[in-house]
């Protein structure tokens, strides 16, 4: 290790060399001089001097962009070799200060902030880490690799979810289009020639596109779980299920397929839910989890389901989700499961009955009169079903009143069908007459 006086003298000598190279416009010479100064301070273990020199060199008049870039990149290699955490934070802050506002070192600044945010998170300062990460808008960085951009934004989303800032998490997540995960890397443009905007290679620790897809949808599951948006959670699991590396390994896709089935059952009835339900039933892999195939078939069959027997059959499967990856289904999910079965039963009854007494409806649903009326009313309000309740008589009418336009359209359609039938009948009669006349002539 060099003594303080020796280090000062050597640094001064290199500063003179750097000045001459800079004034003469020698890019290579300036870059070498600044990196030599930093290397000298690093080898001497003079971290304070290193920080001071980084600031001094970056502020010198007419300092070359290439020299500043080389200096920042060189100093970043020393971050992991600092003796303690305080020295590491100080060096990162110094480099962050130097690179602030300089577009030619924006990628390095993003990586520095990511490192600093990680340190803050390890110290338990989640809010500070999230605020730091949100300072950087990597989506505007043209030279940054696509996978690195996505990984950075996903880290921003994760920190927002950790601090329970769901609004900001959603805003950040929207910066990533799910279609980007479907692009085939082999079909992407080749590396540009010299003089074009060169996109840097992503660091080795950045996940691949399929891995980023899995991380993205896992974070979105966390976001949608906050508001119990079961259908969106199901769609996220479906996207993870379609990743090739997941589909090749039964130990990975079976738990995910179970989750898809559960969240399909928990999702409110609707066109998207019905579409996903039918496509899942067509999946050949569903035969590996026969209980869930049976559960989904219950929902597509237009028959009333007895809740007690169904719960007894699937209670163990429901409880076993706690031991599988992806989190457990809580008490709220159990309540919603029962609610979905009740809604299914009401839809089945509406298909078979145009009018039914409220008492009989309650018997079919295995509910009290008040509960049956409440669930039916909720479905009518949410427009999942059309019905009217005559409370004094206790009768439910599933036939919706048609307006004049609908009645006229119905009549017009019926008349058109009648005329078509008459025309076809006349044609057949005429054909038979012609055949009969021809036979008589012979």
Number of structural domains the chain divides into: 2
Please give the share of the chain, as a percent, with pLDDT higher than 70: 92
Q: How far apart are CA 347 and CA 384, in angstroms?
A: 9
**60 against 165, higher pLDDT:** 165
Q: Does the residue 162 lie in any domain? A: no
Look up the domain containing 47 and give its range. Answer: 1-104
Model confidence band, residue 426 (pLDDT cutoffs 50, 70, 90)? very high
Model confidence band, residue 196 (pLDDT cutoffs 50, 70, 90)? very low
The distance of Cα 149 from the centroid of its chain, to the nearest Å, equals 15
Query: Domain boundary at 81, 104, 127, which?
Result: 104
Q: Does the residue 331 lie in any domain? A: no
Query: Domain boundary at 66, 88, 104, which?
Result: 104
Q: What is the pLDDT of residue 198?
A: 64
Q: Does the residue 261 lie in any domain? A: no
* Spatial CB neighbours of 143, under 8 Å, sequence gap ≥ 6: 106, 107, 197, 198, 199, 200
Q: What is the pLDDT of residue 4?
A: 52
Q: How far apart are CA 172 and CA 161, in angstroms?
A: 11
47 pLDDT higher than 80: yes
Q: Does the residue 17 lie in any domain? A: yes
Q: Does the residue 386 lie in any domain? A: yes
Q: What is the pLDDT of residue 199?
A: 66
Q: What do you get for the CA distance between the two ends of the chain, in Å?
A: 125
pLDDT tens readout for residues 271-308: 888 888 888 888 888 888 888 888 888 888 888 888 88
Q: Does the residue 82 lie in any domain? A: yes
Q: Does the residue 73 lie in any domain? A: yes
Q: Does the residue 155 lie in any domain? A: no
Burial class (CB in 10 A: 0-12, 13-18, 19+), 349: buried
Query: Domain boundary at 69, 104, 139, which?
Result: 104
Kindly report the CATH number assigned to the domain that includes residue 374.
1.10.10.10
Model confidence band, residue 418 (pLDDT cutoffs 50, 70, 90)? very high
């Amino acid at each position: 290790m060099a003594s303080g006086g020796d280090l000062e003298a050597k640094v001064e000598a290199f500063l003179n060399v750097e000045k001459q190279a800079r004034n003469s416009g020698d890019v290579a010479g300036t870059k070498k001089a600044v990196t030599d100064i930093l290397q000298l301070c690093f080898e001497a273990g003079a971290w304070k001097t290193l920080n001071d020199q980084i600031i001094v060199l970056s502020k010198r008049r007419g300092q070359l962009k290439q020299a500043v870039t080389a200096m920042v990149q060189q100093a970043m290699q020393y971050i992991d070799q600092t003796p303690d955490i305080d020295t590491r934070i100080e060096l990162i802050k110094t480099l962050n200060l130097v690179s602030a506002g300089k577009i030619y070192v924006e990628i390095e600044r993003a990586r520095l902030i990511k490192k600093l945010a990680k340190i803050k998170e390890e110290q338990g300062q989640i809010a500070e880490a999230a605020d730091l990460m949100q300072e950087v808008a990597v989506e505007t960085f043209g030279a940054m690799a696509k996978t690195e951009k996505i990984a950075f934004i996903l880290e921003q989303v994760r920190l927002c979810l950790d601090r329970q800032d769901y609004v900001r998490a959603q805003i950040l997540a929207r910066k990533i289009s799910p279609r980007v995960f479907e692009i085939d890397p082999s079909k992407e443009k080749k590396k540009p020639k010299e003089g074009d905007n060169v996109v840097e290679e992503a660091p080795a620790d950045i996940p691949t596109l399929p891995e980023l897809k899995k991380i993205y949808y896992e974070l979105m599951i966390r976001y949608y779980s906050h508001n119990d948006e079961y259908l969106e959670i199901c769609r996220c699991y479906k996207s993870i299920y379609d990743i090739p590396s997941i589909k090749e390994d039964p130990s990975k896709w079976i738990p995910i397929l179970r989750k898809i089935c559960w969240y399909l059952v928990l999702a409110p009835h609707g066109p998207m839910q019905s579409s996903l339900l039918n496509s899942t039933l067509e999946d050949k892999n569903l035969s590996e989890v026969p209980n869930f195939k049976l559960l989904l078939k219950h929902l597509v069959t237009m028959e009333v389901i007895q809740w007690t027997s169904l719960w007894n059959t699937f209670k163990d499967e429901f409880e076993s989700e706690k031991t599988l990856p992806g989190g457990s289904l809580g008490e709220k999910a159990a309540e919603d499961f029962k609610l979905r079965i009740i809604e299914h039963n009401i839809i089945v009854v509406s298909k078979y009955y145009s009018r039914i007494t409220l008492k009989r409806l309650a018997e079919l649903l295995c509910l009290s009169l008040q509960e049956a009326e409440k669930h039916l009313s909720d479905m009518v309000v949410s427009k999942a079903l059309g019905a009217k309740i005559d409370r004094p008589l206790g009768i439910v009418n599933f036939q919706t009143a048609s307006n004049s336009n609908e009645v006229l359209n119905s009549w017009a359609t019926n008349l058109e069908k009648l005329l078509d039938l008459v025309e076809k009948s006349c044609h057949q009669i005429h054909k038979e007459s012609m055949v009969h006349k021809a036979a008589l002539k012979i």
